[in-house]
Amino acid sequence: MDWWILLSGVFVMLLVLFATGLPIFLSFLVLNIAALYLLSGNFNGVLLIINSMFDTGTSFSLAAIPLFILLGEILFRSGSVNILFNAVDALIGNIRARLYAVAIVLSTIFGALSGSAMAVAAMMGSSLLPEMRSRGYDRNLSIGALLAGASLAPIIPPSVMAVVLGILSKVSIAALLIAGILPGILLALAFFVYVVIRGRINPALAPVSARSGLPARERLALVTRALPFLLIIASILGFILAGIATPTEAAAVGCVTAAIICAIFGNLTWAKFVECVRSTAGITTVITIIMVSSVSFSQVLNMTGSTFKLVAAVTALDLHPAIMFILLQVLPFVLCMFIDQIALMIMLVPLYGPIVLAMGFDPIWFWTIFLINMSIGGITPPFGYTLFALHGVTEDVPLQSIFRSVLPFIGIFILVIGLLALFPDIILFLPSFL
């Protein structure tokens, strides 16, 4: 059987399994067992899957995932959200489109602290969006600003998706985490400028602020109260950049720092901490099961020989590297509209890895842009999970309106990706210090 027929059949079967509503981990497990049976004619190959699942599940790198999730849970359940909101609101001050700007900055900070786009979208949708609507801010632009800010969570460390991508692509997780800092800040700045310009061009979109009379001393007090929370980010990134700790060890330091700060300055109690641990255990279990059930997928592809033949076919095309780069990024952008982000990474990364090396692309540069592409998938209609997370807390808003609200920000994402492709040093500057 030709390699491309075999490869196409594998992906079609996987998509069919997804369409049946079967959990992601079971879809990969069924596909792997079926493929091994077809290749060997018996079920002896199941031992390969079991060994692969054990090796993946006991990987030290995976420990960073529950730690980053726990960090976000501590922040959200301790009431620290209100402290950060008041500080950002006071810092931005009395400008037109102030709450749009607050939404972008606050979502970026929460994304950097938690790493979960869906959690940030749900939290902001239930807390800030009603306030924006009550003050007469445009509904669609408000929703778009919230979703755009939330979508930065997988890019700016700590990021669960960056850890997963690092494991799958076999590149430095520390470098991948650090590489997302400048692109994340650049995207946040682009979103900030966009909403402010929209507010100035059309004043009806952004009523004049009602907090112009807030005394400077009170603003300073609000900002000062939030400063200790910056130690959480500083402790994680500082240890990684200084080479003192691995991402997993830095995540543990971040959790301890967050627990202490939230206990002192927030409302973290022992009961709430237990809730954080329980929630973290549930989320981590799902992610880990998906990981251990799907990593063997790349081994099955290698056994068929399809991966090597695909690389040979791609390199034989003799396309310009720029064209190949665009093709490799367009495919996940389109597929993310229909497939879960982690599932898509598991499908594509084993195929992309050899091609990236064969084309001579810098792995950190390529996979960082790939990660940004995955982040767009969370807010891309019709099946972006972050869209549904926001819709879950704003049921009075039609889903079609939420879809329309994110289109300008998706355009900004694409423009920034183009900029990062043309100027790789934006991504590679900070990792060069590792």
Note if the pTM is more than 0.75: yes
Span 348-374, pLDDT tens digits:
888 888 889 888 899 999 999 999 998
Of residues 388, 401, 414, 404, the one with CA closest to residue 333: 414
Whole-number pLDDT of residue 180: 93
Give CA–CA dist 127/58, Å, rounded.
Answer: 39
Written as six digits, the tokens of 45 are 């190959």
Span 154-170, pLDDT tens digits:
898 878 888 889 988 88
Give CA–CA dist 143/137, Å, rounded.
Answer: 10
Using CA atoms in the order 213, 214, 220, 221, what is the torsion angle rounded to 10 degrees? 160
Query: pLDDT tier at 311 (50, 70, 90 boundaries)?
Result: low
Using CA atoms in the order 292, 297, 298, 301, what is the torsion angle rounded to 10 degrees? 160
Cβ-contact 347, 391 below 8 angstroms: no
Report which residue type is found at 21: G
Share of the chain above pLDDT 90, in %: 21
User: Angle of helix 3-19 relative to helix 341-359, nearest 10 degrees?
Assistant: 160
| 156 burial via Cβ count (<10 Å: 0-12, 13-18, 19+) | buried
Of residues 216, 230, 217, the one with CA closest to residue 83: 230
Report which residue type is found at 412: I
- Average pLDDT taken over every residue of the chain: 82
Whole-number pLDDT of residue 413: 95
Cβ-contact 25, 289 below 8 angstroms: yes
> What is the gyration radius of the CA atoms in the chain, in angstroms?
22
Give CA–CA dist 332/325, Å, rounded.
Answer: 12
Whole-number pLDDT of residue 418: 95
Whole-number pLDDT of residue 191: 95
User: Angle of helix 98-114 relative to helix 181-201, nearest 10 degrees?
Assistant: 160
Of residues 280, 222, 238, the one with CA closest to residue 63: 280
Whole-number pLDDT of residue 102: 85
Share of the chain above pLDDT 70, in %: 89
Q: Which residue has the higher pLDDT, 295 or 179?
A: 179
pLDDT at 211 over 70: no
Most confident of the following: 17-31, 135-149, 291-305: 135-149
| 101 burial via Cβ count (<10 Å: 0-12, 13-18, 19+) | buried
Give CA–CA dist 338/380, Å, rounded.
Answer: 9
